[in-house]
Every structure is written in structure tokens, then in C-alpha cells.
Amino acid sequence: MGKAMKKNTKMSYEIGELDQYLFGQGTHYEIYKKLGAHKAKKGKKEGIYFAVWAPHAQEVSVIGEFNQWDRTASPMKRHEPLGIYDCFVPEAKEGMLYKFCIRTQEGEYLYKADPFANYAEVRPGTASRIVDIEDLKWTDSKWMKDRETWDHNHEPVSIYEAHIGSWKRHPREEEDGFYTYREFAHEATAYIKEMGYTHIELMGIAEYPYDGSWGYQVTGYYAPTSRYGTPEDFAYMINYFHRNKIGVILDWVPAHFPKDAHGLANFDGAPLFEYADPKQGEHPDWGTKIFDYSKAEVKNFLIANALFWVEKFHVDGLRVDAVASMLYLDYGKEDGQWIANKYGGNQNLEAIEFFKHLNSVVLGRNQGTMMIAEESTAWPKVTAEPEYDGLGFSLKWNMGWMHDFTEYMKLDPYFRKGCHNQMTFAMSYAYSEKYVLVLSHDEVVHLKCSMINKMPGLGFDKFANLKAGYAFMMGHSGKKLLFMGQDFAQLREWSEERELDWYLLAEEEHRQMQAFTRDLLHLYKKNKALYECDVMPEGFEWINADDRERSIFSFIRHSKDDKKNLLFVCNFTPVARPDYRVGVSRRKQLRLVLNSDEKQYGGTGAERPVIYKPKKQECDGRPYSIGYDLPPYGVAVFEF
């Protein structure tokens, strides 16, 4: 009885026995409400409650602006069995900087940022900052309600991948010139709506120290980066996107973390978040630490973090970075640098189990959200359900398609006939997973050239090639992703150090490229045939996949009811094909809905009919056909 009474007098903000039990089991999905720094009241005193997991530490104290960074001023109490330390500091106030001072078993002192902090000082500073995110303002209830019944399998998903710090910048030389979350929300929304994208994917949101890592080496998993404003500003941005019917996807990095002294590496003087053995716990190529997926608390840290972004900040999906590096124990390693699993194989069994747990919980608790895998190998069942031995992701980036597509597009048109199958091969495995076709930031950095400069030829040829490529991509099965700047043919490679070359839009050919991409995106969004049956073979039909001599591809996209279908014809050579014949199965008239030869797209503007009536003339194994004057690099899309 006495024990029960004692338990009831425990303040609600404090770590309790149940919290420790659930965290130790890896199932405390809201552990971020307990660990970290939170506003609290002890008796009549208001202050901040601090808690941190540091089982290897001899002692821990919290230091900050509230105690002149004195490591003896605010000692923390240890709680067993997990080694969580906590304390209440009445002098601590919102906005103040703090760190945890950890005395290791060897007697050294480490000064660590809070792993659960919701805000950090702007780099190069490394301290955490106290902030209250309990009462964020949301007015996106309609979006959130509609999301519960939204199904990505049968809805349009066209993603604008963006990096806030280099999208646009203010011309302020004495500062970074970054747009704030609020400024970016307004300007990016206007652009996305005009262009016709359905989602924005944001690179590098969780706090990170080094700009050149683009946000893929995280030190603050629970803090939106302070480069662009406060957590409240970040919530405003998400809310604004939702009010304008734009979904938000964040890049999320559970694969590895950097070795920065204030971060997670050797957090309490010993490997805690990472595997202890360097053969398991380090990426030799990246110079980073690998999370220890065998530890329940580490898995809990990551799964709760995914839920934090989705549930606390209303994010609609997470694009999980570097999945392959987690699945393979020998990823990026030479013989002797890695340890096999208990069966002697190179699969990380603990990471596999982590993914199944992660995706089951995030998607199970949040209907209508997406978990997207950036997985670059042929690992099976990435998007299959965990009960069928799948990893449980909603979608997978189609890196195979991306590689084949870019290699084909780089070729001189004369040689494309020899590599014709690079454009058709992806359809042979299109239904083995649920795919996103991606032309991401990775394809336009590190001397890979921008998309326009991958194209062969000069001037008109480059732009016409890219238009044909984008049309093929939009017609192909799979969701779509395009990195910022590529929709108006950015000439230079992307760099995080400068804004996009928006000045190019003063030139006609770049405006024409943008107009063509915009109209493709709107065509995609408003035609069910282009997304409704993405995951079903009946949604795609080749008309002619074998016209290699002329490097022309023709195919149909079908809607569920088969009432409004689209026929694509794409010419990948500079040779005009007058009266190019395309076979059709029915004698139904076709209407030309997109023609790359229009003046507004940089074409000749030659007049041509809008309506085409099939003749009884066999072609492509079909009883009827239409003839169309296909220009050099010409694209035509017909509705029937």
C-alpha cells in the first residue's frame, strides 16, 4: 500500500517504472515526451525537467545558461535498471542553452547535446536550446482527416525534392541569406501549385552540424534545424503546405550518424547508440557510426523519432535514406572489415527486424502516411507486408530505372538503338515492388552533370532530348520525383552553397522547358490512367516496345474503368517520322492532349489535327492504326 501511494505521488513528467520498462522493451513510442527537456512544475515552482539515457556514465549533470555552465550546480539522479538520469531545474527557462555533462568511467568529462532536444543553437554552436512544443498551432484538420482514407497506391504522387537552404536565398552577404521556414512555405507553395506537384520532399531537416552533409549526418534527431527558424516556424510551414493541399515528406536517416564530439557517438564514454565492434559500428567510406539495431532502446529512439515527425509535426511520409547500407553487413566494406550474421550471411538480421517493426508501427498508427525506401539493390519484398516476410515500406525508389534511364539519355541518338532495352527493362519488374521513379539530387552532383547537361548535342537537341525523357518518365508506371531546378533545366550541378539559377528563366528555352514540365505534371495529376493502376499490370500496355531502329516507344496507360486512357508516343532521335503509324485495338477516335512541337514548348508550332480517327489498317499487331507526323525528339500524348 505504501509503495503504491509513493508511486502515485510521483510527478507525471518524471520517468516512471512503466516508462523504463517500455523503453527497455523498445515499445515506448512517445519516449520523447519523457526524455529531453520539458516544462514542468514541482510544488509551486515552475522550471524544466531534464532526463537523459546514459547507462555507462559515472555521473551526469545538466549545464547551461541557467547555472553558468557549472557542472556541479545541477547534478542528475540515476534510475535503474536502464541508467536514465533526471533532475528538475527551476532556474532553467525556455530559450536558454544547455548540454549534458557526462563523467565517464575513466573520469573524463564529455559535453553532449541532448539527443531528444527539440531545438539547437545555430551552427557552429553545438548546444541544445530549451523550447516548448506542446502547443503548436495547427489549422490543417481537414487535411489530416482526409489523410486517414488516402491511399497512395491509387492516387497521384509527384514529388518536388527540395533543399531549403539552396532553393532561394536573400542577397545578404553578411549572413547565410537562408529563407526562413515561413518564407519558404509561401514561395515554395506558390511554385509547387503552379507546377502541379502533389508533394514536397525536404532534404536535411533534423539538426546537423556540417552544411556540406546536406543534412544526412544528424546530431539532433528530434530538432528541426535552427538554420531556418524555430520548431514553431517549422510547424507553420507544414501547416501552410497542408492548407494548400501539398503533402510533406521528410528525408530521414536511421542508418548512421557522425562522430562530432557533441553528438551521439560514444555518448556516455562508451558505444551506446552504435555497435561496439568497429566492424559492425562504423562506415569506413563515410566516416560515420552505425546504429546498434540489436538494442531495444536504440530501436525505440529511432521508431519514436519517426513517429515524432509524423504525429507531432503532421508529416505525411518519411523517405528513409541509405536502406541498403543497413540491410547488408558488408555494405561499403572489404573482406575482414565486417562480421557475418549467425547464419554466416551478410544480411543484418537486426536491421531487417527493425524495419518490420518501424513500418508496422508508423503506418499502423497513421493511416494514409508513407514510408519510402531509398534502397539501391535487388533486395526482395521491400514493399511487401511484414507478415509475408516483407520489410513493410509503402514505396521504394526505383534506382535501377534511374540508372538505365540516365545511361540511355546520355547516349548519342545514333547509338540508342543498341541500348533500346534500357528503356523497356524496368517494365519487366515493375510489379515486383511499389516504385517511385526518381531523378533526385544524387543525380546532379559530384561531376554527374545537371539533367540538361547529361543530354547529347547542343542547344535545341539538349532541351528536346530532356523533354522527351521527362514525358517518358511521366507516362511510365510508378510515382514520380524530380529534384528542384531540373524542371527548368538548371545548367550547373546543384550546390548547397548557392541558390538555384532562377535567372535562367529570363531565357526563352528555359521557360519553354519549365512550361513543358508543368503541363506534364498537370496531365499526370488530372488523369487517373497515369496513377490509378500503378501497382497493377493492367495499368500499362506496350503498343510497340521493339522499334529499336527508330528509337521510338509507344504505350498506353489504362484507368480502372478503362474509360479515359492515354497513349504515349516518344521519339528519341533527331529524325522526323512523317505519318508514323501507331496500332490501336478499337475504332475510337483519339484526341491529342500534349504535343511537344508546340511553340510554347520550343517546337515549330506546325498546325496539326486535334482529333485522330483510326483506320482499318493493321499495325503493331492491332487491327486499327493512326498516322501522326512525329517531329525530331517528338512527344505526342493522345486521350481515348
Q: Which of 120, 466, 161 is nearest to 262 (CA)?
A: 120
Question: Identical fold at 2-129 and 537-639?
Answer: yes
* Domain 2-129 = CATH 2.60.120.620: no
Residue 175: predicted pLDDT: 74
pLDDT at 42 over 60: yes
Q: Which residue has the cell 516548448?
A: 132
pLDDT tens figures, 125-179: 999 999 999 999 999 999 999 999 999 999 999 999 999 999 999 987 567 899 9
- Average pLDDT value for residue range 496-524: 98
The reported pTM is 0.95
Residue 562: predicted pLDDT: 82
Residue 283 is given by DSSP the state E
Backbone Cα Rg of the chain: 27
Residue 10: predicted pLDDT: 45
- Average pLDDT value for residue range 299-305: 98
Q: For domain 537-639, give its CATH number from 2.60.120.10, 1.20.140.10, 2.60.40.1180, 3.40.50.920.
A: 2.60.40.1180
Structural domain spans, the chain: 2-129, 157-530, 537-639
Q: Is 627 helix (H, G, I), strand (E, B) or coil?
A: strand
- Average pLDDT value for residue range 325-331: 96
- Average pLDDT value for residue range 609-618: 96
Q: Which alpha helices (H) appear in 411-501, and where do they start and end? A: 421-424, 451-454, 460-475
pLDDT at 2 over 50: no
CATH superfamily assigned to domain 157-530: Glycosidases (3.20.20.80)
Q: Which of 103, 132, 129, 107 is nearest to 117 (CA)?
A: 129
pLDDT at 1 over 50: no
Direct distance between the N- and C-terminal alpha carbons of the chain, in angstroms, rounded to an integer: 77
Contact call for residues 467 and 592 (beta carbons, < 8 A) = no
The pairing of beta strand 199-202 with beta strand 247-252:
parallel
Residue 411: predicted pLDDT: 97
Output the CA torsion 459→460→466→471 (10° steps). Answer: 170
Residue 174: predicted pLDDT: 60
Cβ within 8 Å of residue 394, ≥6 positions away: 152, 317, 359, 363, 369, 370, 371, 372, 383, 434
Residue 618: predicted pLDDT: 96
Region of poorest pLDDT, from 121-135, 169-183, 544-558: 169-183
Residue 8: predicted pLDDT: 37
Q: Which residue has the cell 550471411?
A: 345
With pLDDT > 90 as the criterion, what percentage of the chain qualifies? 96
Chain centre to alpha carbon of residue 572:
30
pLDDT at 182 over 50: yes
Residue 12: predicted pLDDT: 67
pLDDT tens figures, 372-408: 999 999 999 999 999 999 999 999 999 999 999 999 9
> What's the CA gap between 403 and 465, in Å, rounded?
17
- Average pLDDT value for residue range 343-368: 97
The CA-atom distances, in angstroms, between 189 and each of 186, 481, 521 are: 5, 17, 15
Beta-bridge mates of residue 277: none
11 band by pLDDT with thresholds 50, 70 and 90: low
Residue 9: predicted pLDDT: 38
17 band by pLDDT with thresholds 50, 70 and 90: very high
Per the prediction, the chain carries an average pLDDT of 95
For residues 241-263, b (16+ Cβ closer than 10 Å) or e, as one string? Answer: bbebebbbbbbbbbbbbbeeebb
Contact call for residues 638 and 566 (beta carbons, < 8 A) = yes
- Average pLDDT value for residue range 448-455: 96
Residue 6: predicted pLDDT: 39
Catalytic residues: 321, 374
Residue 419: predicted pLDDT: 97
